[in-house]
Amino acid sequence: MLKVDIRERDNIAIVTPEGRISTDQIDAFSRQVNDYINEADQVPNLVILTKSVPYWADFNALKEHLRFVRGHHNLVRKVAIVSDSKLLWLAKSIVDHFVSAKVRRFNEDAVDDAIAWAQTEDDHPGAIVEIEGMPSDVVAVDLRGLITSQDYTSTLIPLVTERAQKHDKLKMLCVLGDYFDGYSPNAMWDDMRFGFSHLTTFSKLALVTDQEWIRNSAKIFGMLMPTEVMVFDLAELEDAKHWIGE
């Protein structure tokens, strides 16, 4: 089954696949989207709500799906995938290479966030968000989306500079959660420069993430730094806040 809810006011199509997807369902979906495009003279962004990876009833259904993607991938600007399925999150990185649309993933409890993102005209790829309620000598940030060089220059560096003027030593809490997509090439370079320029600025660093490659890298490089480094799971965020505040 393929449920489709096109919201003209928001210019989005909310698609909910359930069970096997047939050729007739894909044909109906394609006609519905094309009719909307012709009548509204605009192409809707897609919000896909699914608990598991959809599958096709037969090979003809797969062909119809691929035909739809081929005919619309240069038109649709954004696709929000809302699911807790790890397999779908992996698929997101593969889809990025084949469609022109910007694809982002959201947890199932973040449907409103997904819809809000799909509604916006512009795509803000990422942000460094300050975590409130921490001691003044703690720089606490949550990295979301794709972090760019601008995020460092406009947010993180001014924040650290301002705090360093008030304290001889700082502590840092860094959260890389489910919405963290990675770094742009320039941001990776900025991250290295930031680390080397602040080797003695921070006395403690708490890194909170479930992404294994980041956890392993932090443990390796942490042994080479004069800063005390601790790595926490996302579920241990409160423990990380307590540790960094000591």
The domain limits of the chain are 2-119, 126-245
How far apart, in whole angstroms, are the C-alpha atoms of residue 201 and residue 63?
A: 57
Architecture of domain 126-245: 2-Layer Sandwich (3.30)
What's the angle, vertex CA 145, arms to CA 143 and CA 53, rounded to 5? 125
DSSP string, 63-102: HHHHHHHHHHTTT--EEEEE---HHHHHHHHHHTTT-SSE
For residue 188, the model assigns a pLDDT of 67
- Would you write out the chain's pLDDT as a tens digit for each of its 246 residues? 788 899 988 898 898 888 777 888 888 888 888 898 889 888 888 888 887 766 555 555 555 555 665 555 567 788 888 887 766 655 555 455 445 677 777 778 878 878 877 887 665 567 889 999 999 999 999 998 778 777 888 888 889 989 989 999 999 999 998 778 777 767 766 677 776 677 778 899 999 998 888 888 888 877 777 889 899 999 999 999 999 998
For tokens 């809490």, the residue is 173
pLDDT at 111: 84
**Terminal Cα-to-Cα distance of the chain (whole angstroms):** 53
Q: Which residue has the tokens 């990295």?
A: 143
Identical fold at 2-119 and 126-245?
Answer: yes
pTM above 0.85, yes or no: no
User: What's the rounded Cα separation, in Å, for the pair 61 and 21?
Assistant: 7
CATH of domain 2-119: 3.30.750
